[in-house]
């Protein structure tokens, strides 16, 4: 949940008035939520990270308190928005933790603005649409605003969004995001020098094989006994889905995530 003592504000970035909160103190870390989510949905992840860091949590275009504007929602644009937010806050470099859509934004940030990202934690992410489970593509085609009637996503949106009537527009834009084929290029993933932790659930919306492929493209997966440890990491969470049912999603594994993520973020600079 959001901290009442957090610094809050709106940053004018690329035509948006982007809502953000700053929690805790220390080295900066950007926390990026998933589709339909808000900062409040990041719960114990935000709390745990903020115990030793200055966590900058932002709400993406059309989400939460950040009003939508007349343009599509795309990963590249959201990454550019986050880069502009860091410029607004005068942050030269930060760690990034992203989940689902937010992990895609983090990956794009590392590709498009590599100098801004010190270390990246990408939870449930794919760099191509083929990296997602086939069932997800089928489900995305059937999504309508009416499916969200009475859901927590719709309820919270109507409570805090600047324009509560825009929820159907958000659904349609995210549906377009999820159903438009994409491929950010194996060469671009291979070119990421930022130490990156790829995290996936063993029953996630992202195919496990794709997570392993990403890890290998980054330079991981060699025999560490002979080659030494890579600066990148791969974590597969057992018995873990993407989001539902309650209690089984990746974000329900906050204790596991924090136990792995914090040592990775605090890893020795010499390993880089």
Give 249-266 pLDDT, tens digit per residue.
999 999 999 999 999 999
Reduced to 3 states (helix: H, G, I; strand: E, B; else coil), residue 219 is coil
Instruction: Select the more confidently predicted residue: 270 or 51.
Output: 51
Q: How does 212-240 read in b/e, with b if 16+ C-beta sit within 10 Å?
A: bbbbbbbbbeeeeeeeeebbbbbbebeeb
Amino acid 86: pLDDT: 98
Q: How far is CA 143 from CA 237, 244, 270, in A?
A: 27, 16, 47
For the cut 60, the answer to whether the pLDDT of residue 4 exceeds it is no
For the cut 90, the answer to whether the pLDDT of residue 3 exceeds it is no
Q: What is the mean pLDDT of residues 132-155?
A: 93
pTM confidence score: 0.95
Amino acid 171: pLDDT: 97
Amino acid 268: pLDDT: 75
Q: Determine the angle formed by the axes of helices 152-160 and 167-179, rounding to 10 degrees.
A: 130
Amino acid 28: pLDDT: 98
Amino acid 224: pLDDT: 92
For the cut 70, the answer to whether the pLDDT of residue 107 exceeds it is yes
Q: What is the mean pLDDT of residues 229-249?
A: 95
Residue 153 CA to residue 38 CA, distance in Å, equals 9
Amino acid 19: pLDDT: 98
For the cut 90, the answer to whether the pLDDT of residue 270 exceeds it is no
DSSP 222: S
For the cut 60, the answer to whether the pLDDT of residue 114 exceeds it is yes
For the cut 80, the answer to whether the pLDDT of residue 112 exceeds it is yes
Domains in the chain, please, with CATH? 7-266 (3.40.50.1820)
For residue 131, name the pLDDT band (cuts at 50, 70, 90). very high
Q: What is the mean pLDDT of residues 116-122?
A: 98
For the cut 50, the answer to whether the pLDDT of residue 271 exceeds it is no
For the cut 70, the answer to whether the pLDDT of residue 272 exceeds it is no
> In the chain, which ranges are E strands?
7-13, 16-23, 27-32, 53-58, 94-99, 117-123, 196-203, 233-241
For the cut 70, the answer to whether the pLDDT of residue 2 exceeds it is no
For residue 47, name the pLDDT band (cuts at 50, 70, 90). very high
Residue 209 CA to residue 215 CA, distance in Å, equals 10
Instruction: Select the more confidently predicted residue: 2 or 121.
Output: 121
Q: What is the mean pLDDT of residues 159-167?
A: 97
Q: How do 16-23 and 53-58 pair as beta strands? A: antiparallel
Q: Determine the angle formed by the axes of helices 254-265 and 43-50, rounding to 10 degrees.
A: 30
Amino acid 267: pLDDT: 85
């Amino acid at each position: 949940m959001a901290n009442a003592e957090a610094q809050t504000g709106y940053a004018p970035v690329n035509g948006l008035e982007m809502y953000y909160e700053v929690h805790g103190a220390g080295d900066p870390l950007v926390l990026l939520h998933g589709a339909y989510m808000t900062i409040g949905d990041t719960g114990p992840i935000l709390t745990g990270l903020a115990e030793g860091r200055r966590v900058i949590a932002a709400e993406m275009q059309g989400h939460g308190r950040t009003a939508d504007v007349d343009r599509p929602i795309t990963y590249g644009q959201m990454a550019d928005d986050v880069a502009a937010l860091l410029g607004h806050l005068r942050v030269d470099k930060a760690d990034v933790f992203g989940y689902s859509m937010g992990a895609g934004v983090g990956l794009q940030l590392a590709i498009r603005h590599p100098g801004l990202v010190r270390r990246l934690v990408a939870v449930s992410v794919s760099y191509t649409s083929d990296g997602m489970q086939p069932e997800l593509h089928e489900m995305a085609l059937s999504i309508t605003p009416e499916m969200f009637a009475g859901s927590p996503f719709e309820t919270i949106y109507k409570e805090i969004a600047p324009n509560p009537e825009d929820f159907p527009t958000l659904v349609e834009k995210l549906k377009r995001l999820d159903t438009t084929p994409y491929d950010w290029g194996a060469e671009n993933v291979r070119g990421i020098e930022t130490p990156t932790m790829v995290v996936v659930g063993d029953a996630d919306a992202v195919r496990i094989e794709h997570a392993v492929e990403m890890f290998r493209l980054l330079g991981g997966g060699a025999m560490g006994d002979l080659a030494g440890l890579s600066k990148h990491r791969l974590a597969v969470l057992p018995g873990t889905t993407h989001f539902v049912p309650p209690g089984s999603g990746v974000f329900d594994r906050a204790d596991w995530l924090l136990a792995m993520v914090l040592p990775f973020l605090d890893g020795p600079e010499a390993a880089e």
